[in-house]
Structure 1
Amino acid sequence: MAQFKKSVLKVAVSTALLSGVTFSTNAAEEAAENQVERIEVTGSRIKRTDMEGANPVTTIDAAAISKMSVNNVGDLLQNLTSSAGAAVNTQTNNGGDSSTRFSLRGIGDERTLVLINGRRVVAGGNGANASVDLNTIPTSVVKRVEVLKDGASATYGSDAIAGVVNIITRNDYEGFELKLNAGQSGEGDAEAKGVDLTFGAASDRGNVVVSLGYNDQGDAFQGDRSFSEYELRAYADGSTERGGSSAPPWSNMDGYDGGNVTQGPEFGDWRPYDGATDSYNYNPVNYLQTPSKRKYVNVFANYLLGEFGVLGEVNSFAEMSYVQTVGKRLIAPEPLAPLIFFGTAAPYSPDNYYNVKYGPKDPDGNSFQIDDWRRRMLETGGRKNERDYKTFRTVVGFNGVFENGWDWEISYNFGQSDATERAEGYFNLARVGDAAGPTGWLDANGSLITDADGNAIVDAANGAQLVCLNAEGAVIDGCVPLNIFGQPGTDTAITPEMLQYISGDYNTTELGQNRQETLSAIVSGDLFDLPAGPVGFAAGYEYRKESGYYKPDSLILQGTTTAGNAVSTEGGYDVQEVFGEAIVPILDDAPFAHMLELSAAFRYSDYSSFGDNTSGKIGLKWMPTDALLLRSTVSTAFRAPTIDDLVGGAAIGFPEAADPCDANTYGSDAAYEAVKNSPNFANCIATGVPANGYDSDGVEQIPSNTGGAENWGGSIELEPEEADVLTVGMVYTPDFVENLSFSVDYWEIQLDNALSTVGTQSTLTGCFERGEYCDRITRFGADSAAYGGIITVDDYAVNVGGIDTAGIDFDIRYTFDSNFGEWRLSLDGTYLLEYDKHLASETIDHVGRFEVNHDGHFAELKTNFTVGWSKDDWDATLTTRYIDGVTETENGWWTDPFDRSVESNVVVDLQGSYLVTDHLTVTAGIDNLFDEEPPFVFSAFGANTDVATYDIIGRYMYLRAVVNF
């Protein structure tokens, strides 16, 4: 038995070395010393004396985190090789929400469960959200992060399909620590600064730890990087061309003969619009990194209450955290195009003074009604959003050890996040319609000036006041006529008074909340002894209540603003669960079985929203020798429909997509003629496309209705997702090479009944190619100037298809001493073997691809290679992050569809630290040492690259000083 314990200890410590990004010698020694204690390992509720179970777990400790520039857990996790897909971060400007989320295996952040000290964390965002905002967890409070890369619904319940992130906090810290951070990019932007203060005290009966902090992240703009300064279009021959929006600040509108016309930069020079030369470059004024300010406080406390009979010694504990994040978004000024972009008719009247004076003319020199007009509203300075998120979480409870030696715990967990989002730079469409309508003039007495026939005059009148008129010729009180024909920066620009009328009083405010309450009770201990050891057991009960809401203001509810329209979301559900787990030792210190252990777990869940679910798990852990550990798990996992899935209010978004029925999608007239002559074009006609086709003239963002399943009008009821998860792996620490360890794990996830949306692009493609989803597409009718164009695509939540994915994780660690210090070498990586997303009649292969409309980036291979060195008071780390190249598809818009290769990406980070005194450590580092630019990804939305995957800031230098006593 002594040999067994020694072997397990060796493997446990070696595996900890394997699974961490880096792991200091002192941390390893500390882990070894603590093995005699019974601890709870992520993936199991049973306390045990060894760290390693049947589940693959990656551990990142405080020593490793201190060698990075990251300040929150989200940025830390997104650098793992097991991260994939399209989880947002603060590099996500248009479409982001100032949060950072983690998508393990790339199957969605909502399928990765986040815990703090083994307990759930409230979701974050603008209200009724499905996943945790990891920006709310600062690294200053983290002792270690454990990432369980295995399905764990049997242990933790819903959402743990891809795995679990368990953040273990520094709730036992004693002393005083002051940490100062500062950083800046090589371009002089993206400045960051922060301060963290942690202090803890203990007595023989308890302890308390308090941590305070503030972090300020500065902005960077796309215009300040060569790769993102212009929007780029890609072509099959490898060339690129500067692109942009069809709504330029010099206007783009109907010409009299049916084509579109523009003035170009030369005022009054009306000519045919040419997308190659007249498009507006919106990139420079967009954030490349969104700014945010975050302040936080965390308190952890334990106090031994004393002996209470059969309960034994009873300990009380409490956790409290409060985080406020204020983040901003800035995107280009609004492209005001009421008809084609927002589906609202706001024609420019031929009797509007500005149309008469500046607008295009018919062959006889007369003004005419302009139905489709587009104008970039540069005068606003951009569309600005400010988010104020406040997240509060507290845990209180009691734990102890019964007289029979069993552990017990009762806890109450409460979390709430509140959001306020304010937006400006948008317009009231009803007022825009009034301001573009007919105009008249009021004399000094306030009377309408008319001609001999009693009609309001259109031409200017000396000393008179220009006013808006309604269809009956009456004055619209307070309305200021709009001039979209002038040039920004000149005396013909849109005036402040015009902006005030159509937008000044119409900035929007949205409120949201997520709320979570959990009451849990658990017991664990040894049931009985077998020849190979005691049978471990745990069982418990959990009651959880989730609720949330999202409340837009009246402008958004009424759909009268270009900020979009949305309906309120409000709802909730509760769940009662019972769970159990056992670990059965089968063999101990036997030939070819130094240890053989079987584990099993189950959970029964009863939801108020859909019914019940049962999940289970079986694991096997086998050590044929003291140097080799083999492990495997088979489990079922599930994810319950969220509040947003169920009752999310309908909202409109504008994803990029290519309409197969649109001439603009194809590179030539001949290509479109072939489409119109194909049998598939009958599906276009069935949705409302004219038989001779239509041309959207550069519309690339398709208005799409999103929201919960209730928006289908009761025709669709959601069911939970279900998944089968398999892992098989090994950990090997050979005796013949000291301090060498490696692990290999194969994983496989088969997800069915996925809770998702079909997606705008898949809806359009499915209708065109197979006649599916056609009833979800609404187009302008024959009486519209935009006949055939898309008004909206319905893309509400459904159970649709599933995901089959598999891959291999590998990890190698080697340490050795030399005359020049201690060296640490590590290589960890993920090799993706399979990722197939199944929709109703379509399977999309993601391996080695970037799929903007199908979940993001899925490199075949990702690795992190680290070289560490330490000698005396010096320490240095060099990390090389590699992301394999992928293939993307250019879906059209400016050329026929084609595939193009996205090059691989290699980024090198360098960090060094010096122990100045026993109480002061100074660290300096450079992320992206060689200033590697991110690869060009044409189909990605924003910055000409994939902001969710690559380092887009460039070379980044930081300095950190830590004072502790």
Structure 2
Amino acid sequence: MKKSTLGLAVIAAIPMFSSVQVLAADEAAKSIEKIQVTGSRINRTDMETSSPITVIGDDFITKSGYTSVADVLSNQPSVAGTSLGGTSNNGSGGSATVNLRGMSSQRTLVLLNGRRMVSSGTGADSSVDLNTIPVAMIKSIEILKDGASAVYGSDAIAGVVNIITKKDFEGTELNIDGSRTTKNDGNNYGFSILHGMQVADGNFVVGAQYSGRGEIIQSDRRFVDAGQSSWIPQGTLGGKTADGNGGFKDRTTSYDFTTSSYAQTPNDLYSLFTSYDTELDSDTTLNIDLMYTRRESSQQLAPQPTSIDLKTNRLNAKYTNSFSENGTLADTLEYKRRMADAGPRLYEQETDTYRASVSLQGLLDNDASWDISATYGRNDSKDSVKNSINAVRVEESIYANQDIWFSGEPLERNFLTANNSIFMANNEGGNEQFVLSAGYSNVTESDIGYAIGIENRFESGFYTPDLITQLGESSSAQQDSTDGDYSVQSVYFETSIPVLESVSLEGAARYDNYSTFGGEITWKLGATWNVTDEFMVRSVLATGFRAPNVAELFGGNSGSYDYLSDPWENATDAQILVNRASDDDLQAEESRSFTFGMVWEVTDGLSSTLDYWKFDITNAITRLDVQNELNSCFEGDTDSCSSIRVTQAGDLSNLTSVLTNVGSQKTSGVDWNVSYTGDRYRINLDTTYLIKFEEDDINYTGTIDGNFGGYSKIKSNLSVNYDLTDSLNILYNARFIRGMDGEYYGENFSTDNIIYHDISMSYNLNDALRFTGGMNNIFDKEPEKVLGGNDMGTVPEVYDVIGSRIFASVNYKF
């Protein structure tokens, strides 16, 4: 088949990023080494495939001041919705995730050197915690922006993130980095060492990394308004509060939670990693990868809000008289208190993630290749919640000490600890994964490439909440244990066929048989047409699926205080308890994706790619929109009432949300990339235009919401990399997010367009020593206000809530 000059442009590996290049020919063997590209298992001599791929190199990561994989990925235009990260305080559990196309992190597959990573959040989490992958070991990050279930199996609906580690490394590399905001807080710091050497006929690489991130308090940012524990407009400020004179008065003020909540969550990451690649003989290679990461992280929320239904017949008359109406007193009174006396809720996690991968790869006499691999991963987590409230003990203490609890005065901490009203909730969880695979790949004399293989994978997970939480005695929601496992056996086939000198067809098929729900078949059809040496057309049509995970199948019932509006107006709180349940009869989600694109090398150094993409998911695993069901029930729809277990009279005491296969997603858009390389400069423009994003028939295109995040119609990154001299380099990055619209309980709002500017400078003192320094968000751009934004009045996963940050690093190689 004719090879064009488009090989590098096809995968959008722009010059500011590390381009994946065909390895040099071995002069002794006088043969070209074959490589494997993300999204294909066929070993090939070129990188021209039908799927769009973006490659980000380690040099760009360092110059941009990124110290985590999550920071790199969250700024990509192809990311939408919400991705957990360092500014996710409420509910993140310290994890960091990636959300391609805004289709959820569970629909983005994360690989390490082409193989699956173990789920590694807190508890039976199905997502990969990007914190577990140290930046020091990364050579490049490849983002496949196409459905790839026919190649990799479950989870690769929205695309694949493949993290490639450094190999064939010789010498020692030390790196020290640090940063802080211009407000003198949020200090980040890190240290790494990497050492590589030749051992016998192989290369041995070993490294260690530490990185730390400091906290920032929400109220320390001037754009943050005082947070109210009862949200306006749907929240209420009803009820009475102590007047300090032994009586009660109407409640007219609310609690400001921003003085206790984190804007940036602290963590400490400790990583060890090693790899060994050696030739056992002239045709067989052994590869061993080992990695361990320990994460110590924390989040801080305002003190626990506590609500206790008190029996009026156990209360003194002097406290109940104020609450009687027409001489009639209810059987119960609701006692509500923000437990500031106990201190803020501090969520702490300790997670240990282990991964070992061993593979044998070989060549046969007909130039065919084979590989056998085994990968084992395990994640153990312990998390605690300090200053949790035992509601049962509080209720008994109120009856026994009514003068103290009704005084309106602060409570002594010793008083609370003496009767065990305060406790530390200790929870444990974990995930385990074991994968065995074998594959065979070859290219015939007529240039037909193909790959076949088998795979056997085992997944398990568990989560055990604190006993007090399981018993429902905590003032937070009751939660049951989670425990379960499943296995899957798979077989796949892939081929690439040159039908004409300039036209190639690609095909793939895969069968996965799950112990939980049965079998699933996925397929892929692709084509490339080199119209000229400078212009290529590519397209892919594929199906995909996502299997229900352990938490969705076997998760214990849990409570969640959701922000809801009660149409019957019985509830006095903006947050209403919803019981969340799993379902072991869940089936797999199914998807269909289509991409069509063009690659054009306009002139020497100037190239462009344009790709249309479309994804359609059916049978999505989701929970019914509780608010919509509440509204429908209120309007007389009995089916809606039964689906969430609510009476038509508005009794919300058993409000339940069960996982079902009733969801859907439809999204489409266009990716456009232009890059130009001159003698001393490299310019890149990467843009995503969102045409449509619908979920469960609700249109989120161009909207932003405190719960679902942002789906901006246009996100764009501009990078200019300029070599002032052979030793001095300047990198400028600009990130554009188009304004979005929102609606919050009948009130419409809009956010403006926003541009973040980053700049850095790198200076090579000599071949061994490099200094890098810069500033991100150099104009200290504040985030846009979002009505209903539950964190800082905005969406921290979309906008920068930290402000200007100065960073510096020193890299020394010897």
Same fold (TM over 0.5): yes
The whole-number CA distance in structure 1 between the counterparts of 2:596 and 2:45 is 23
- Which residue number in structure 2 is paired with residue 14 of structure 1? 9
How far, CA to CA, are the matches of 1:637 and 1:846 in structure 2? 23
The structure with more strand, counted as a fraction of residues: 2
Partners of 2:460 and 2:100 in 1: CA distance: 25
After TM superposition, list the pairs within 5 Å mapping 1:112-261 onto structure 2. Answer: 112-203=108-199, 205-231=201-227, 260-261=239-240
- Equivalent residue, structure 2, for 1:964: 813
Indicate if the aligned counterparts of 2:525 and 2:542 stay in contact, CA closer than 8 A. yes
1:483 maps to 404
Does structure 1 retain, via aligned residues, the 8 Å contact 2:219–2:258?
yes
Change (3 A) 1:29 1:56: closer
Structure 1 residues 767 and 369: alpha-carbon distance in aligned structure 2, compared to 1, 3 A threshold: closer
Instruction: Give the equivalent residue in structure 2 for 1:773.
Output: 640
| SS in structure 1 at match of 2:136 | helix
- How many Å separate the matches in 1 of 2:655 and 2:678? 60
Residues 269/605 of structure 1: CA separation in 2 closer, same or farther (3 Å cut): same
Of 719, 726, 733 in structure 2, the residue corresponding to residue 866 of structure 1 is 719
Report if the CA contact (8 A) 1:221-1:287 is conserved.
Answer: yes
Say if 1:569 and 1:57 are closer, same or farther in 2 by CA, change over 3 A. same
Output the CA distance in 2 between the equivalents of 1:94 and 1:919.
43
Q: 2:102 aligns with which of 101, 106, 117?
A: 106
Cα distance in structure 2, aligned partners of 1:15 and 1:371 = 68
Q: Tell me the equivalent position of 2:590.
A: 722
**Counterpart secondary structure, 1:767:** helix
Distance 1:763 1:196, change over 3 A: farther
Q: Does 1:889 align with 2:747?
A: no
- Structure 1 residues 28 and 641, CA, compared in 2 at 3 Å: closer, same or farther? closer
SS in 1 for 2:797: coil
Which among 574, 582, 607 is matched to residue 495 of structure 2? 582
Deviations 1:415-440 (A, max 9, x none): 00011011121211211221122xxx
Structure 1 counterpart of 2:580 = 706
| Residue identity in the other structure for 1:327 | S
2:391 to 395, 417, 429: 429
Q: Give distance in 2, aligned partners of 1:915 and 1:504.
A: 59
Structure 2 match to 1:596: 503
What is the deviation of 1:706?
1.7
C-alpha contact (below 8 Å) 1:230/1:242 kept by paired residues: no
1:262 to 228, 241, 249: 241
The code of the aligned residue for 1:957 comes to I
1:493 maps to which of 401, 405, 410: 410
Conserved? CA contact 2:185–2:215, under 8 Å: yes
C-alpha offsets along residues 53-79 of structure 1, whole Å, 9 cap, x if unaligned? 110001111121112222221221111
Give the superposition deviation at 1:947.
1.3
Paired with 2:577 and 2:346, the residues of 1 have a C-alpha distance of 20
Looking at structure 2, the residues matched to 398 and 146 of structure 1 have their Cα atoms a distance apart, in angstroms, of 23
Residue-by-residue CA offset, 1:647-706 (whole Å, 9 max, x unaligned): 1110111121222332xxxxxxxxxxxxxxxxxxxxxxxxxxxxxxx3x33x11121112
Residues 426 and 503, structure 1, Cα contact 8 Å, conserved in 2: no
**Corresponding residue for 1:78?**
74
2:650 matches 1:743: no
CA distance in 1, matches of 2:508, 2:21: 32
Report the alpha carbon displacement of residue 336 of structure 1 after superposing the two structures with TM: 1.4
TM-superposed CA distance for 1:720, in Å, is: 0.6
The residue number in structure 1 matching 2:796 is 947
Task: Tell me if structure 1 keeps the 8 A contact 2:590–2:617.
Answer: yes
- The Cα of 1:904 is off from its aligned counterpart by 2.2
Structure 1 pair 740–62 and aligned structure 2 pair: CA distance change class (3 A):
same
Partner of 2:540: 633
Structure-2 separation of matches of 1:582 and 1:165: 22
Change (3 A) 1:282 1:43: same
Match of 1:826 in 2: 684
In the alignment, the residues of structure 2 paired with residue 727 and residue 204 of structure 1 have an alpha-carbon distance, to the nearest angstrom, of 46
In structure 1, stretches of 5+ residues that fail to align are 235-240, 247-251, 253-258, 308-312, 339-344, 438-467, 469-479, 589-594, 663-693, 711-716, 782-786, 892-896
Q: Tell me what 2:299 maps to.
A: 329
How many angstroms apart in 1 are the aligned matches of 2:452 and 2:721?
Answer: 43
Write the letter of the residue equivalent to 1:586. Answer: V
1:889 maps to amino acid: E
Aligned partners of 2:319 and 2:314: how far apart in 1?
A: 10
Q: Distance in 2 between matches of 1:864 and 1:929?
A: 16
Cα distance change, pair 368–792 in 1 and its aligned pair in 2 (3 A)? closer
Tell me if the contact between 2:705 and 2:786 (Cα under 8 Å) persists in the aligned partners: no
Larger Rg: 1
The answer (yes or no) to whether the contact 1:20–1:61 under 8 Å persists in 2 is no
- Mark the CA change 1:153 to 1:493 in structure 2 (over 3 Å): closer, same or farther: same
Q: RMSD over aligned Cα, in angstroms?
A: 2.7
User: Of 848, 863, 868, which residue of structure 1 is paired with 2:702?
Assistant: 848
Check if 1:552 corresponds to 2:465: yes
Number of aligned residues = 808
Give the match for residue 659 of structure 2.
797
**Residue type matched to 2:445 in 1?**
D
Q: Who is 1:523 aligned against?
A: 440
Superposed displacement of residue 327, structure 1: 0.6
1:320 aligns with 2:290: yes
- TM-score normalised to the size of structure 2? 0.94
Alignment of 1:802-817 (within 5 A): 802-817=664-679
Aligned AA (1:918): D
Question: How far apart are residue 297 of structure 1 and its match?
Answer: 0.5
The answer on 1:646 being equivalent to 2:582 is: no
2:739 is the counterpart of 1:879:
no
Q: Structure 2: how far apart are the matches of 1:96 and 1:20? A: 33
Kindly report which structure 2 residues correspond to 1:337-486, keeping only aligned pairs within 5 A, or say none.
Answer: 337-338=307-308, 345-347=309-311, 351-352=315-316, 356=318, 360=322, 371-437=333-399, 468=400, 483-486=404-407
Contact 2:22 2:33 in 1 (8 A): no
Pairwise CA distance, 1:914: 0.6
Pair 1:765–1:124, CA change in 2 (3 A)? farther
Q: Is the 8 A contact 1:190 1:289 kept in 2?
A: yes
Q: Deviations over 1:80-119 (max 9, x none)?
A: 0000112221211112111110110101100000101110
What residue identity is the alignment partner of 1:934?
P
Q: Within 1, Cα distance between the matches of 2:552 and 2:109?
A: 17
Contact conserved, 2:579 with 2:657, CA < 8 A, in 1? yes
- Give me the whole-angstrom Cα distance separating, in 1, the residues matched to 2:199 and 2:349: 42
Tell me if structure 1 keeps the 8 A contact 2:477–2:561. no
**Alpha-carbon distance, 1:32 to partner:** 8.4
SS in 1 for 2:779: coil
* Cross-structure match for 1:342: none
> Deviation digits for residues 524-555 of structure 1, max 9, x if unmatched?
011x333xxx1111000000001111111211
2:265 counterpart residue number: 290
2:757 counterpart residue number? 908
Distance across 2 between alignment mates of 1:192 and 1:20: 29
Distance in structure 1 (CA, Å) of the matches to 2:177 and 2:727: 20
Note the C-alpha offset of 1:776. 4.2
Q: Which moved more, 1:554-563 or 1:802-811?
A: 554-563
Check conservation: 1:232, 1:243, Cα contact below 8 A. Answer: no
Displacement of 1:900 in angstroms is: 1.2
SS where residue 435 of structure 1 aligns?
helix
Instruction: Quote how far apart the aligned CAs of 1:764 are.
Output: 2.1
Q: 1:327 to 1:585 in 2, by over 3 A?
A: same
For the residues of structure 2 that align with 1:866 and 1:701, how far apart are their CA atoms? 43
Given the superposition, is the C-alpha separation of residues 904 and 372 from structure 1 closer, same or farther in structure 2, using an over 3 Å criterion? Answer: same
Identity over the aligned pairs, expressed in percent?
A: 32
- d(CA) in 2 for partners of 1:849, 1:367: 47
Q: Are 2:581 and 2:656, in contact at CA under 8 Å, matched by a contact in 1?
A: no
